[in-house]
Structures are given as C-alpha cells and as structure tokens.
Amino acid sequence: MVAAAEHARQEIEAVRRADGESRTLAASLPRLVLEARRIAANVIHGLHGRRRAGPGESFWQYRRFVSGEPSQNVDWRRSARDDHLYVREHEWEAAHTVWIWPDRSPSMAFASRQARDSKLERALIVTFALAELLVAGGERVGVPGLLNPTASRNVIDKMAQAILHDDLTRASLPPSFVPSARSEIVVLSDFWSPIAEIRTMLAGLAASGAHGTLIQIVDPAEETFPYSGRVEFVEPEDGSMITAGRAERWADDYVARVALHRDQIRSETNTLDWLFSTHTTDRSAAELLLFLHGGMMANKGAASSVKAGQTA
C-alpha cells in the first residue's frame, strides 16, 4: 500500500511538472520564433542561396521508410522483397535533406544567472533559425519522428506546431531512423546522456553514410561549477537529489569528468568524420548559427568535389 501510494504521488507530480513545462513552452514559443527569424534574417543578409533544383526525376536510391511518413511514399514492389518498407528517393531529395534534432528533455530547461537563455530556448532558437536559413537556400529540413522533410517557407511555424502537439516522452537523443546517405544531421543537446547511449545513436545514424554535427549546449554554470558551501543538486530527469556539504571540493573532479565525457564523444565523432563542438548559453545564438551553416556549406562543397571527380 505504501509503495502504491508513493508511486501515485510521483505520477501526480510528474503530470503537474509536464503540464507546467508544456504551458511554459507554449507561452515562450512566439518569442522564440521571432528571435529565430531575426537571427536568421541577419545571417541571410549578404548570403546568396543557390536556386532550388526541384524534386528531380533521376532515381537515387532506396531508403528505409521513416515512421510518420505518408504511406503513399512506400515503394511496395521493392518492399515486397524482404521484411522492411522502403521509399524510392530521387537524387535531389537525397542530396538536400537536413535533419535537425533539438533536445527537449527536462535537463534542457536549466538556466543560471549568467545565461542569456535556457538551454532549451537556445536549442529551439537555433533550430528554427537554421531551418529558415536552409529553406531560404533551397534545402529540405525535417525533425526526426516529428516533422517530415519540407522546403516550405513556413518551416518555422510547422516546426513550432509539431513541437507543441508532440505528446510523446521527450528524449534527449533523437529516435532511431535511417537517413539517406547524403543527408546532413544536426543534434543540439546538452549530451549529458551516458556515452554508451551516445555511441549507439551515432552508430545508427551514421550507418547509411549520412554526415552529422553534434552541438553540446551547456549553461555557463555547467562549465565552471561555481558552487560553494552546502548545496542540494536535483536531477531534472528523475527528480533524485544529492547534497554537497562543501560543494567547492567537487569542482576539480566535476571539471575532469566533463572533460573526459567530451573526449569520449569527440573520439566517437572523429571516427565517423562527424563534427562535435560546444556552445554556452552566455554567447550569441547567431555565432552558433554561423558555425553550423558554414560547416554544412564546407561539407557540401567537399561532397560535390568528390561526385565531380567520380563523374569525370
């Protein structure tokens, strides 16, 4: 009876917390959308996007069907050969798809006094702004498990609505899916997940040959551990707590463990030829947006050179 009562209490608290967080997100999204559009407009100014080539008619490859796609996308003749569903991709579709994953798990809500935004707000602002920038340049952008790739000029509104109506558990890492070989993947997260989970995610996403970038968004306090005296720390994911009698004694060990965790992530991304970088929320969102856009353009140029060399 005691265990059942405690479980019920935890469930009620979880529901209240989720309701409060969802209301906060709904209230803040209009501001985040405006901020994203402002930042994207500043970056677009002076940049020259390519002309859109259109969907094209040249067959590129078959890829696995992604949960949430319209069933009419399935190529039933190819799918009949084995136990998986496949989609027939045209060359333009495979070459210009960018998947963006903003981590919306509870740990992303953290914001110290030094931060301009919470980690969640920064992830959403950059996601929206990057999507607008890419669509303006003729790309197709999607959110794994939430929004199919689109080149709509209203991409920010589509993303915001998809997020607001998402009733699934908000995981830190993107769901398992099979991107096309020439897709680009951007994951914006604090990446405090165990390295084993990050390694599994990377292996799954890179298996098809897709290229990606991991951006660890952290609060300034998570970088420097500016705590002293008796401090009670609360785990945002499960509500567990731990108390430090003299928190300043934990600083060196904390910084060392963060450095080790990052080295492990960087080792995994280097092996796959992916990018990994960190971004603190006391810095400019435009700075991160320029970094991501510049990296994608460099990667696209390298891919185009390889293709031209193979064709010659």
Express each pLDDT in 156-169 by its tens digit. 989 988 988 887 77
**SS3 call for 211:** strand
Highest mean pLDDT among 17-21, 40-44, 49-53, 172-176: 172-176
Encoding tokens for residue 95? 């070459």
Question: Mean per-residue pLDDT for 120-142?
Answer: 90
Is residue 55 within 8 A of residue 92, CB to CB? The reply is: yes
Sorted by where each begins, the domain ranges of the chain are 29-53+96-307, 59-93
Among 292, 285, 237, 266, residue whose Cα is nearest residue 116: 285
pLDDT exceeds 90 at position 171: no
Give the pLDDT mean for 182-204. 95
CA–CA distance, 42 with 44 (Å, rounded to integer): 6
Q: What is the DSSP string of 38-52?
A: HHHHHHHTT--PPPP
**What single-letter amino acid sits at 245?**
G
Give the span between the Cα atoms of 86 and 286, in whole angstroms: 38
Q: Which fold has domain 29-53+96-307?
A: Rossmann fold (3.40.50)
pLDDT at residue 24, rounded to an integer: 58
In whole angstroms, give the CA distance from residue 208 to residue 181.
Answer: 5
pLDDT for residue 258: 95
The separation between CA 128 and the C-alpha centre of its own chain, rounded to angstroms, equals 11
Residue 223: its pLDDT value, please? 93
Per-residue pLDDT, 233: 81
The single-letter DSSP state of residue 69 is: S
pTM of the model as a whole: 0.73
The C-alpha atoms of residue 103 and residue 126 are separated, in whole angstroms, by 12
pLDDT band for 123, please (50, 70, 90 cuts): very high
Residue 1: count other Cβ atoms within 10 Å of its Cβ: 5
Name the band, by pLDDT with cuts 50, 70 and 90, for residue 245. confident
Q: Give pLDDT tens digits for 51-99.
A: 343 344 455 567 787 776 777 778 888 888 888 888 876 544 444 789 9
| Higher-pLDDT residue of 257, 22 | 257
* E-state strands within 112-161: 140-143, 147-150
Residue 47 is predicted with a pLDDT of 47
